[in-house]
Structure 1
Amino acid sequence: MRPVLVLLVSTAWTMTAAQYYYQGLMDYLENRLLAIEDRMQFWHDQSHRYHTELQDFKKLTAEAVDGLSSEHGSLFKDLEGAAVRVDRVEREMDYVEAQTSPRACARQAEKVVEQGVWGLEESRGEEEEEEEEDWEELHSRVSDCVEIISGIRSVKILKRVGGPKGMWTRDPRSSRVYVFNGTSGDVIYRFNSVQDFSRSPGLAGGTQIRLPFAWSGPGSAVHNGYLYYVMQEADTDLQVVRYDLMSGTVTDIAMFPVDSRASVYNLNPETVADLAADDEGLWLLFATSDSEPNINLAKMDPATLDIEQIWDTRCPRENAEAAFVVCGTVYVVYNTRLVSRSRIQCVFDVNDMVISEEAPLLYFPRRYGAHASLKYNPEEKQLYGWDDGYQIIYRLTMKRKMLV
């Protein structure tokens, strides 16, 4: 009987212990579930708050974008209005400069009277015969070309082809156009006319001419069927080459007395010398050395390339970008290193027929950059300009010089 009682007591104790164990386990699991539910509720609250804040941010962003779009439209209209006003001001500036601009500097002989009357300051009487001799000597230096530029009549932007620097010109003897792309090379391009050049898709549309010697700088000239160009290699003197465009042969080469590779134009250092052709013949603009402040001018014989005479134009090289010659008068075009408006600011007449009152101070219409070259065609009274890869034609208006 006693063993049975012991067994019953032991069993009751074991069941009671198991009940306490499972009850503790259940309490633990319940507490963990409550903690998880609290954490889930917290996450839900946080997610709802973030969603609300995101919606508010989207709303504010949309309002800001709408405001910026409205301000952009208003600013764009203001800029359009400003562009119109700038164009109007520029046209007015062109008009004012053409009407009231100060005269450019003009170089003249001491014997030329500023009132435009030919004569000498010496008294008449016993020296009358000597005065007549001086008159005939001065008059013999004057050619039949008696025109001076009075303005730019129109501007035509033909096309854009090639690099930012180069040269193009038309032979006054024919309608053919010659294009020099870049600042050096041994290849040029020929087109039958300005119209053909304008319609061509590029330089490949022209006839390629390979020269026997490379040209240096955009300072070549075409005159009466001949190409005149500058040739200068490293550590060599400057040479002028005469090339027959019909036969394709070099007919003459002349050495030129230049001490160094000084550029003739400060803003275009690639132009070591600039050849120009007009009604009076062939000219060469150059600088004798880097220390020479002014541009020099030489008259050359187109057939033999002999130097006939040399002048110091007293036109500074500083800020010069290009120059051209019309009727024996040099027109030097200036600009600034921060590209602005090109202008003719210095004039030199080899025949001493231009006085200060008639020397033009002309402004070129604002375009893209600065002229790499300007070539005058005496038959058409036009300039062929190369401006940042654009080929431009300037039609000029002329007037007679006062002292004729």
Structure 2
Amino acid sequence: MQALFTVLNPLLFLIIFGLYPSMTIGPKEGWQVYSSAQDADGRCICTVVAPEQSLCSRDAKSRQLRQLLEKVQNMSQSIEVLNLRTQRDFQYVMKMESQMKSLRTKFRQIEDDRKAIMARNFKELQDKMDELQPLIPVLEQYKTDAKLILQFKEEIRNLSAVLTSIQEEIGAYDYEELYSRVISLDSRLRNCMNKLTCGKLMKITGPTTIKTSGTRFGAWMTDPLASSKNNRVWYMDSYTNSKIVREYKSMTDFVSGLESRTYYLPYKWAGTNHVVYNGSLYYNKEQSNIVVKYSFETGRVLAQRALEHAGFHNVYPYTWGGSSDIDLMADELGMWAVYATNQNAGNIVIAQLEPETLEVLRTWNTEYSKRNAGEAFMICGTLYITNSHMTGAKVYYSYNTKTSTYEYTDIPFHNQYYHMSMLDYNPRDRALYGWNNGHQVLFNVTLFHVIKTEDDS
């Protein structure tokens, strides 16, 4: 563009040979473009041959020269306008090119985002499918159960028809006679249940996670002597430096966190092995071997007594520590304390307590080291000891206070959350209450019962 402008500018580099005496032109010769070439900068240079001056005046070719100069000026102006337009269009093209590059980047980003979103959605769908996969056998079981229910309905209808027929044949029983039979059956059932209260531990199943709360260590419990309508739950977080006991009216309130009352004990407790028995809390007073009986009804200490020679303040704790030297518990036969003494070489001592006065009624010396025990609980007068508080623990040892004998056992249980800091048996619920690394859990127990009849010696 610049070279063409240079060529057609009126002030062109014109070499007019007529102005130089060394070059002569015939009298009849006019203006002619003699030659054209490019200089070192790329500009176009034209050679124009002009007539002699004596021939230019009032000559037709002079008019042609003026016309030619006018045309050159017009062309120069047109080219200038074209140059400006070209520069403007070039800037517009450059701008459009920048925008196109930006759009191309955005399109690539959108494409990458689309692929990432599709991959994430696919992963979410896959995870949901994996979650639903275990429901397939459950649904299959529901189908089977539905078929069984239909069969049961049919059998019930048939049985109802048979019973109606029998009743028509033998006549209806007298109401008083039926009531007497029901009372007799109820009495026999209760007697049978009383005979089933005690048994030997055979199996532990679960756990069922009731709630997740508190620190890694703590205790929660219900009263084994409470009525069937009284389902209060007590909660004591941590194993030391605390006096706060929280009460919940029911297990449902406990799960939802609906606290009904808060108690502030007169003394701090040690460990996590407390027990609620017949409306009172029994716990080990901090940094002592004293057992305290605290009444929830009156808010006062009803009794306290030191366990003679019992180690305390992490002298003979369970394997996890936590000042768990003295373990208080209850079963079908009453209240117990489990601890260790120097006199028994650090081995476990079992003491049966009188609940009202905390007097020690009798003791049994075992040969199992307290420091090697993970946790312990009483069922029907037999102490069961786990060999660890960590994963893989099992009930390894039992001591029967009735026969003063022991045996090694192998009863596994699932330590789901890897750290057990409390494990106590509740005879009313026939369950083990556990504090499993900040989770409050329940284990079911299976007992082997021997039912003695009147014919047995």
Give the alignment's TM-score, normalised by structure 2: 0.53
- Map 1:94-133 to 2 at 5 A: none
**Alignment pair present for 1:151 and 2:208:** no
CA contact (8 A) 1:285 1:295 kept: no
Q: In 2 relative to 1, CA 374–36 (structure 1 residues): closer, same or farther, beyond 3 Å?
A: same
Q: Distance in 2 between matches of 1:295 and 1:147?
A: 25
**Alignment pair present for 1:254 and 2:306:** yes
Which residue number in structure 2 is paired with residue 182 of structure 1?
237
Q: Distance in 2 between matches of 1:60 and 1:154?
A: 48
Q: In 2 relative to 1, CA 78–313 (structure 1 residues): closer, same or farther, beyond 3 Å?
A: same
Q: In 2 relative to 1, CA 261–158 (structure 1 residues): closer, same or farther, beyond 3 Å?
A: closer
Q: In 2 relative to 1, CA 33–272 (structure 1 residues): closer, same or farther, beyond 3 Å?
A: farther
Gaps of 5+ in 2: 1-75, 138-196, 451-456
Which residue number in structure 2 is paired with residue 383 of structure 1?
432
Which residue number in structure 1 is paired with residue 21 of structure 2?
none
Secondary structure of the equivalent of 2:318?
Answer: coil
Gaps of 5+ in 1: 1-23, 86-144
Q: Distance in 2 between matches of 1:83 and 1:150?
A: 31
Residue identity matched to 2:363: Q
Which residue number in structure 1 is paired with residue 318 of structure 2?
265
Residue identity matched to 2:103: H
Secondary structure of the equivalent of 2:122?
Answer: helix
Q: Distance in 2 between matches of 1:317 and 1:71?
A: 49
Residue identity matched to 1:220: H
Q: CA deviation at 1:382?
A: 2.8
Q: Distance in 2 between matches of 1:155 and 1:259?
A: 30
Q: Distance in 2 between matches of 1:216 and 1:243?
A: 15
Q: Distance in 2 between matches of 1:148 and 1:241?
A: 30
Percent pairwise identity: 17
**Alignment pair present for 1:363 and 2:427:** no
CA contact (8 A) 2:198 2:332 kept: no
Q: CA deviation at 1:81?
A: 4.2
CA contact (8 A) 1:335 1:343 kept: yes
Q: CA deviation at 1:314?
A: 2.0
Which residue number in structure 1 is paired with residue 422 of structure 2?
373
**Alignment pair present for 1:349 and 2:382:** no
Q: CA deviation at 1:276?
A: 1.6
Q: Distance in 2 between matches of 1:166 and 1:179?
A: 11
Q: In 2 relative to 1, CA 55–208 (structure 1 residues): closer, same or farther, beyond 3 Å?
A: closer
Q: In 2 relative to 1, CA 36–158 (structure 1 residues): closer, same or farther, beyond 3 Å?
A: closer
Give the alignment's TM-score, normalised by structure 1: 0.59
CA contact (8 A) 2:205 2:413 kept: no
Secondary structure of the equivalent of 1:215?
Answer: coil
Q: CA deviation at 1:388?
A: 4.8
**Alignment pair present for 1:285 and 2:331:** no
Which residue number in structure 1 is paired with residue 218 of structure 2?
166
Which residue number in structure 1 is paired with residue 385 of structure 2?
332
Which residue number in structure 2 is paired with residue 41 of structure 1?
93
Which residue number in structure 1 is paired with residue 294 of structure 2?
243
* Number of residue equivalences: 310
Which residue number in structure 2 is paired with residue 59 of structure 1?
111
Q: CA deviation at 1:77?
A: 3.0
Which one has the largest radius of gyration?
Answer: 2
Q: Distance in 2 between matches of 1:30 and 1:63?
A: 48
Q: Deviations over 1:47-77 (max 9, x none)?
A: 3344345435533542454345335534553
Which residue number in structure 2 is paired with residue 211 of structure 1?
265
Q: Distance in 2 between matches of 1:154 and 1:49?
A: 64
Secondary structure of the equivalent of 1:45?
Answer: helix
Of residues 371-380 and 52-61 in structure 1, the stretch that sits farther from structure 2 once superposed is: 52-61
Secondary structure of the equivalent of 1:174?
Answer: coil
Q: Distance in 1 between matches of 2:233 and 2:109?
A: 66
Q: In 2 relative to 1, CA 295–166 (structure 1 residues): closer, same or farther, beyond 3 Å?
A: farther
Q: CA deviation at 1:229?
A: 0.9
- Point out 4+ residue stretches in structure 1 off by more than 6 angstroms: 24-33, 82-85
**Alignment pair present for 1:398 and 2:398:** no
Q: Deviations over 1:191-244 (max 9, x none)?
A: 66xxx34346766643444332222222112345543210124xxx33222335
Q: CA deviation at 1:277?
A: 2.1
1:274 to 316, 321, 327: 327
Residue identity matched to 2:121: S
CA contact (8 A) 2:373 2:385 kept: no
Which residue number in structure 2 is paired with residue 222 of structure 1?
276
Q: Distance in 2 between matches of 1:361 and 1:201?
A: 29
Q: Distance in 1 between matches of 2:284 and 2:362?
A: 18
Q: CA deviation at 1:149?
A: 0.8
Q: Distance in 2 between matches of 1:79 and 1:342?
A: 30
Q: In 2 relative to 1, CA 33–318 (structure 1 residues): closer, same or farther, beyond 3 Å?
A: farther
Q: Distance in 1 between matches of 2:78 and 2:133?
A: 82
CA contact (8 A) 2:312 2:325 kept: no
Q: CA deviation at 1:399?
A: 1.6
Q: CA deviation at 1:325?
A: 1.3
Q: Distance in 1 between matches of 2:254 and 2:198?
A: 37
Secondary structure of the equivalent of 2:293?
Answer: strand
Residue identity matched to 1:227: L
Which residue number in structure 2 is paired with residue 314 of structure 1?
368
